[in-house]
Structure 1
């Protein structure tokens, strides 16, 4: 739930308790004061909620690219697999690594490297659906969680990402590992491990996508 409304709700509860204890004032001027204090209290609660939302955004999202950090991504994956198990639908995970990124950094500098990472994160977000989740696993490694998507659907998305990277990013390509729940793994940890290993297999060739077979 949005912390802004939680803050306002807590403020209203405090005002309600205060009115029960103290009662409503009889004089009109005192009543106006009570109303003014109630408005200030609710505004303070709303502002505190905005601040909490900002802290949550900073804690959950990568400061450079804006996508989920790996710990929060894994938490999301665990929840989604639990839900997929109950509702019987597939989930596919893409593990993606930028090929030749170190070479790009050495040639163009770290600031340009950071800019490229942001561009790549934007490409990922533009090529997935609203229900999907993008995360940064670490360095130049990214992950994409595709809900209600089997391996074939994930392959189409992966190919589209590869094509856009070739067209958009200077001399950089991507290697992708693809694994699906429940076909290739039974837990979030197994799924991330399998997709990660397949990504390393893809990196041996570069600009390649390797899909789990069992």
Structure 2
């Protein structure tokens, strides 16, 4: 009787998928991160922003929780480059990116949209709260000069903010377009201001002290 052949033993893979230290997995993770990250500011890039916005708008349709979108555009950025040089302009962009990281929630999505324009997705955020956040960021930008070798550089930003609700029929592109237009209105109104979309906003008088405290606690401290 012929002897049964020895079972074939497959060699153990050098890089098993379950191995968290796998160099191949680490490399793929790094490439994936690079594909969705802006090289200068280390914020998300426009590609990732568009994917994230579509996802949040879909979530709004399912959950009825609104999604707010903010456009932030640095004022007189060309003048900064012309007067102080492009390195100073880059420093201003990096500085603004850090302010966004330090003053937003972990669930918010901040991205560089292009040039000196940034976007922030605020999931589960109505227009009243979004307007509060936008104004807080505007003040933070104005009061936080960019440190340059030649001295501190004061920068300001024009901000537009609008909200997508479950009753809205906008596509992601139309939502982006109508929010971006609000930035142009802010520029026309003198810059360094916030312009918001049309909605039935509650007035300050209707907001209780507890609600105001909750809004402040939802975002990080100004002391950062």
Give, in whole Å, the separation in 1 of the partners of 2:156 and 2:7. 67
Residue-by-residue CA offset, 1:105-153 (whole Å, 9 max, x unaligned)? 1111111111110110111121111111001110000000000101111
Give the counterpart of 1:203 among 184, 187, 191. Answer: 187
Does residue 69 in structure 1 map to residue 45 in structure 2?
Answer: yes
Give, in whole Å, the separation in 2 of the partners of 1:194 and 1:92. 12
Does residue 187 in structure 1 map to residue 171 in structure 2?
Answer: yes
Structure of greater Rg = 1
Give, in whole Å, the separation in 2 of the partners of 1:54 and 1:176. 32
Alignment CA distance shift 1:101-1:41 (3 Å)? closer
Does residue 38 in structure 1 map to residue 12 in structure 2?
Answer: yes
Partner of 1:80: 56
Give, in whole Å, the separation in 2 of the partners of 1:111 and 1:194. 32
**5+ long unaligned stretches in structure 2:** 1-5, 146-152, 200-224
Q: Contact 2:138–2:194 at 8 Å: present in 1 too?
A: no
Q: Contact 1:184–1:191 at 8 Å: present in 2 too?
A: no
Give the counterpart of 2:155 among 159, 172, 178. Answer: 172
Give, in whole Å, the separation in 1 of the partners of 2:128 and 2:113. 23
Question: TM-score of the superposition, structure 1-length normalised?
Answer: 0.79
Residue-by-residue CA offset, 1:167-200 (whole Å, 9 max, x unaligned)? 1122311101111012766332121111100111
Alignment CA distance shift 1:134-1:39 (3 Å)? same
Q: Contact 1:177–1:195 at 8 Å: present in 2 too?
A: yes
**1:46 Cα deviation (Å)?**
1.4
Partner of 1:143: 119
Equivalent pairs, count: 183
Cα RMSD between the aligned structures?
2.2
**1:40 Cα deviation (Å)?**
3.5
Structure 1 residue runs of 4+, over 6 Å off? none
**5+ long unaligned stretches in structure 1:** 1-19, 24-33
Partner of 2:197: 212
Q: Contact 1:202–1:210 at 8 Å: present in 2 too?
A: yes
Give the match's secondary structure for 2:12.
helix
